[in-house]
Structure 1
Amino acid sequence: MKDEALKMKLKLIFLLPFTFCLFTSRVNALPGQTTDQVAAWIKAHPTLRPSSGETLLVRKSDTAAVRFIFQASVLAPGIATTGGDPGVIRTEQIDLFDLINGVTFDRLVESLRTIYGLGIYQDYQRARVVYAYPNEATVREARNTAAPLEEALQGELRLGDRYAYWIEIAKPRQGFPITGKIAILLKSDLDKLESELRNR
């Protein structure tokens, strides 16, 4: 019975159109809040409910070909740096891996809405794109230097009224993308991440 319930939750995340009635209460744990607040929210969330031993990192797997990861971190996204408050969450990230159906930007954005509700979804949709990659020069250089990963990575940084957002998929030249992520971050961490992405 427990296995069937888990499979049903994973289908809601991976295989079926998202049903937004799963989590309609007000979001009360986001970057900027304490690790305890966020851990309690994760534990009570009907989709994220972690297994024993999981607190800020939740892993779900329907099969080896389909995986979902949610992680809240006290670190800014990108290259790890020192500083900050070790008791305050700075980034929350959703990672999808799906060999069967693939991962698209639309699917990642729908996962954002499923986890956080309408308010964050609308903030993302209204957010201004501050950086998008790759550009044509990067693609040409990646092809000339045989760097398929640099060519495959496609993403955007967005600045909303409430938060900043990072969305990225790895789209190979042939086939479809099977992995991607979407992250919510503090607006104050956006410049650092943009600089790192522009220079990687």
Structure 2
Amino acid sequence: MRKWLFGRYLLVSILITLTGSRANALPGQRTERVAAWIEGHPTLRPGLGAGLIVKKIDTPARRFTFEAREIPPGRIGFNANPGIIRSESISFYDAVSGVSFTRLAEALRTIYGLDIYQDFDRATVIYTYPTRETTELARRQNRPLLAAQKGELRLGSRYAYWVEIAETETGIAYNGEITVFLKEDLNKIETELRAR
């Protein structure tokens, strides 16, 4: 019996490795399916009753959060389609090693697999911030946080992506987040970011 279970586990592991595709619950799918995917995901490994949010704390200086939401990113508005996941976010706080765009992209690859990572990597950059005008405004108004937030919106063939880090005065980012969301929500978040 044990040999059979081990053989079955080995076969499933090999199939996952060969296909390289872990992403079978993404924005646009039913909440129940995404919750089941989170529950069974080997990297996320949520605690009992975690639902759509997974929080991991290595030490107080290192935290990881994965969250699936029924609302688009940005300001909260009316949800015309309850029961459907519209966005999923991966966020890090790391006061030891820092957070970078590259590290966030690698987290995307680890959780979703090669297909989604390639969609992100090949995606067109739609908007990058802060703009030169924003940086100048932040300097004039003594609002360093405004210039510290660095990010970009990307439009891939399958999804839209929002990546953001917050740098300190020394240029090191300890916080960062990457969000995968439905392409139809891109205009909303772009408008909100441009109006900051």
Structure 1 length as normaliser, TM-score? 0.87
The 1-side partners of 2:21 and 2:115 are apart by 11
Q: Runs of 5+ in structure 1 lacking a partner?
A: 1-19
* 1:192 counterpart (183, 188, 191): 188
Partner of 2:113: 117
Any idea what SS the aligned residue of 1:115 has? helix
Residues 70 and 79, structure 2, Cα contact 8 Å, conserved in 1:
no
* 1:86 counterpart (70, 82, 86): 82
Are residues 1:43 and 2:39 paired?
yes
Partner of 1:30: 26
Q: Percent identity?
A: 53
Residues 123 and 157, structure 2, Cα contact 8 Å, conserved in 1:
yes
Which amino acid in the other structure matches residue 177 of structure 1?
A
Deviation at 1:94, TM superposition (A): 0.2
Any idea what SS the aligned residue of 1:178 has? strand
The 1-side partners of 2:38 and 2:20 are apart by 14
Provide runs of 4+ in structure 1 moved above 6 Å.
none
Count of paired positions = 180
Partner of 1:107: 103
Which amino acid in the other structure matches residue 149 of structure 1?
L
Residues 134 and 155, structure 1, Cα contact 8 Å, conserved in 2:
yes
Deviation per CA, 1:166-199: give whole Å up to 9, x if none: 0000012324100000000000000000000000
Which amino acid in the other structure matches residue 60 of structure 1?
K
Are residues 1:155 and 2:119 paired?
no
Partner of 1:15: none
Residues 23 and 111, structure 2, Cα contact 8 Å, conserved in 1:
no
Higher Cα radius of gyration: 2
- RMSD of aligned residue pairs (Cα, Å): 1.4
Deviation at 1:26, TM superposition (A): 4.2
Any idea what SS the aligned residue of 2:145 has? helix
Residues 148 and 172, structure 1, Cα contact 8 Å, conserved in 2:
no
Partner of 1:138: 134
